[in-house]
């Protein structure tokens, strides 16, 4: 197979947005970072060189990493971080996956600016073709912080304070004209009228689910998280951090002109989120007279109202729910939906935020000596001193991790009922995982709880895609709810937003040997401990075992 080589230098670069100049962490000085574009079947080698004083790692989000868990990237889970002045080459094969994904740093909050698109071109023609694709436009949604993100993270961990809102949302690193001092930092793409384009939408934001729309145009979802879907026509999409959505886009406004593309947060409570909007432009190539810039400024007010029409209200849970329910696997002969119809094991876990006393070795400035943590089945995940994969491979788990993650919630609570605070049990701190045999058909039910139940939790699973077979509001009912599962064409994804005040059930064919992280892709919640992991043992065949670690694997 073809080998595609890339070199990533993780380095500082002076960048100005909103009239604030700061040193921004980048790859190769680019923000967003370089696009990795490969073909299905390729072997990828990405040498990452750390040119900063801090540790770093890069994660290939949604890439399956079959047998190559060493290349997955989450710090202290599958590798020790790459230290200052050191390099590590991520080697893996891209097999049986095609579409839009992303890569991002997976160490502290570095992914705030260290991210980029990961695009896999398919072996076979697109199943949705029908029309000729003119070209494609990657649209990476992110956040800009005037402050040093490291400081924001440190402050947040000390007090466990509420979300520190970023200063702007961005499209391909650009906030756009609705923010102060930002008109010149506006993303603009040029399109021809009467054509079909592919828009690759990536949510790389740290802490925000987003709505996205283009004024006066309908969008057609054809793929999510690098899996084809049945086509869905919609005026807007909801996209959680870590999710990707590929859209067909028809430039059918024959009058020509400029149209707004925009993203704004989707939240489930007004406090304390930033409800600003990032916009960019799609400009039809019909040449226009006069100074475009002046005209654009004048038209912005008028156009803002059309984008407001297209974008759902920031609290529109109805839209968000309907939208994600409409996403279904393509399930064609060529791309069958491989959802396990039977399971070998079900794990039910709460996902919750907790307000509690600090553990002894930490300082808490927060609330009466308490601060926020987050947990799964009341275990708040603690990052171990060396990588779990390494310690598992060497069969030396002592002091690193244990295999006693509780597979059911500690008690039968009314998780989402009206008296949440008394049920907000203090968490335990630990690095707890569970282990399954190779090929286990695994179901995990994520159960939200009502304490501080202010936002969805976009849960991300490493090393495997999963099928979202069910979701609902309130408490999961193990008797009734599984009877209503979609076992025909559930969406196959790597990240799914578990609804606030509700639950989601996912199924996994656990056939990738290694150690795999599961966590909330709101970075703040991961920092608070909303994470766990599972181990898939080697299979009986030589082709079903974890490959040995590469020679340059960083040591702790
Ligand atoms: Cu995109 Cu573990 O992350």
Q: Please list the residues that pair with 212 across neighbouring strands.
A: 237, 263
Q: Is the CB of 104 under 6 A from ligand 1?
A: yes
Output the CA 203–ligand 1 centroid distance in Å: 12
Structure confidence at residue 290 (pLDDT): 45
| CA dist., res. 85 & res. 210, Å (int) | 36
The percent of residues above 90 in pLDDT, for the chain, comes to 77
Residue 99 clears pLDDT 80, i.e. is over it: yes
Interval 177-183 mean pLDDT: 94
Ligand 1, atom 2: nearest CA belongs to which residue? 74
Output the CA 378–ligand 1 centroid distance in Å: 21
| CA dist., res. 276 & res. 292, Å (int) | 25
Higher pLDDT: 309 or 136? It is: 136
**Concatenated DSSP letters of 399-439:** TT-BS---SS-SS---TTSS-TGGG-PPPEEE-BEEEE-TT
Q: Is the CB of 242 under 6 A from ligand 1?
A: yes
| CA dist., res. 543 & res. 546, Å (int) | 9
Q: Is the CB of 441 under 6 A from ligand 1?
A: no
Q: Is the CB of 217 under 6 A from ligand 1?
A: no
- CATH code: domain 345-544 is 2.60.40.420
Structure confidence at residue 355 (pLDDT): 80
Q: Which atom of ligand 1 is nearest to the CA of 241?
A: 1
Q: Is the CB of 106 under 6 A from ligand 1?
A: yes
Least confident of 356-360, 464-468, 501-505: 356-360
What are the pLDDT digits (tens) for 139-148?
999 999 999 9
What are the pLDDT digits (tens) for 281-315?
999 986 444 445 455 555 666 666 677 678 998 88
Q: Write the class of the CATH domain 127-331.
A: mainly beta
Ligand 1, atom 1: nearest CA belongs to which residue? 61
Residue 349 tokens read as 């876990």
Homologous superfamily of domain range 1-124: Cupredoxins -  blue copper proteins (2.60.40.420)
Q: Which atom of ligand 1 is nearest to the CA of 62?
A: 1
Output the CA 524–ligand 1 centroid distance in Å: 13
Question: How distant, in Å, are the alpha carbons of 357, 402, 459, 463 from that of 382?
Answer: 16, 11, 17, 20
| Beta-strand relationship, 3-17 and 43-50 | parallel
| CA dist., res. 466 & res. 439, Å (int) | 14
Higher pLDDT: 82 or 151? It is: 82
| CA dist., res. 276 & res. 71, Å (int) | 36
| CATH 2.60.40.420 residue ranges for the chain | 1-124, 127-331, 345-544
Interval 433-447 mean pLDDT: 98
Phi, psi at 483, each rounded to 5°: -65, -20
SS3 content of the chain, % helix, strand, coil (to 5): 10, 40, 45
């Amino acid at each position: 197979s073809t080998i595609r080589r890339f070199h990533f230098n993780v380095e500082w670069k002076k960048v100005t947005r909103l009239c604030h100049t700061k040193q921004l962490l980048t790859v190769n000085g680019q923000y967003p970072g370089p696009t990795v574009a490969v073909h299905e079947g390729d072997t990828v080698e990405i040498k990452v060189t750390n040119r900063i004083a801090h540790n770093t790692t890069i994660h290939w989000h949604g890439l399956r990493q079959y047998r190559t868990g060493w290349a997955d990237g989450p710090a202290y889970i599958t590798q020790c971080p790459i230290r200052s002045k050191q390099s590590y080459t991520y080697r893996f094969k891209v097999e049986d996956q095609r579409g839009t994904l992303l890569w991002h740093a997976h160490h502290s909050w570095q992914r705030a600016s260290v991210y980029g698109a990961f695009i896999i071109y398919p072996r076979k023609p697109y199943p949705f073709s029908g029309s000729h694709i003119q070209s494609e436009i990657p649209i990476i949604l992110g956040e800009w912080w005037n402050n040093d993100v490291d400081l924001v993270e440190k402050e947040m961990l000390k007090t466990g304070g509420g979300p520190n809102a970023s200063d702007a949302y961005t499209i391909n690193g650009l906030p756009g004209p609705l923010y102060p001092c930002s008109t010149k930092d506006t993303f603009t793409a040029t399109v021809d009228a009467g054509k079909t384009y592919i828009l690759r939408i990536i949510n790389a934001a740290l802490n925000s689910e987003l709505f996205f729309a283009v004024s006066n145009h309908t969008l057609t979802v054809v793929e999510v998280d690098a899996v084809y879907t049945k086509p869905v026509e919609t005026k807007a999409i909801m996209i959680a951090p870590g999710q990707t959505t590929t859209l067909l886009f028809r430039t059918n406004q024959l009058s020509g002109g400029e149209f707004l593309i925009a993203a704004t947060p989707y939240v489930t409570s007004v406090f304390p989120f930033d409800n600003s909007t990032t916009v960019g432009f799609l400009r039809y190539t019909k040449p226009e007279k006069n100074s475009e810039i002046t005209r654009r400024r004048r038209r912005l007010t008028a156009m803002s109202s059309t984008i407001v029409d297209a974008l759902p209200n920031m609290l529109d849970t109805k839209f968000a729910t309907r939208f994600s329910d409409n996403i279904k696997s393509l399930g064609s002969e060529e791309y069958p939906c491989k959802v396990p119809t039977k399971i070998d094991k079900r794990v039910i876990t709460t996902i919750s935020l907790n307000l509690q006393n600090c553990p002894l070795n930490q300082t808490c400035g927060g609330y009466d000596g308490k601060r926020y943590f987050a947990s799964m089945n009341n275990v708040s995940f603690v990052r171990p001193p060396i990588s779990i994969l390494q310690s598992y491979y060497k069969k030396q788990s002592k002091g690193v991790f244990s295999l006693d993650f509780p597979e059911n919630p500690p008690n039968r609570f009314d998780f989402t009922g009206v008296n949440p605070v008394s049920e907000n049990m203090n968490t335990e701190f630990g690095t707890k995982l569970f282990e399954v045999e190779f090929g286990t058909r695994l179901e995990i039910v994520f159960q939200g709880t009502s304490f501080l139940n202010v936002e969805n939790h976009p849960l991300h699973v490493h090393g495997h895609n999963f099928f979202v077979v069910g979701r609902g509001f309130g408490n999961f009912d193990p008797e009734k709810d599984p009877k209503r599962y979609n076992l025909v064409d559930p969406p196959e994804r790597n990240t799914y937003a578990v609804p606030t005040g509700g639950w989601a059930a996912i199924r996994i064919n656990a056939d990738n040997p290694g150690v795999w992280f599961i966590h909330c892709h709101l970075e703040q919640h991961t920092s608070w401990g909303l994470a766990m992991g599972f181990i898939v043992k080697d299979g009986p065949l030589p082709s079903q075992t974890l490959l040995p670690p590469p020679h340059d694997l960083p040591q702790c």
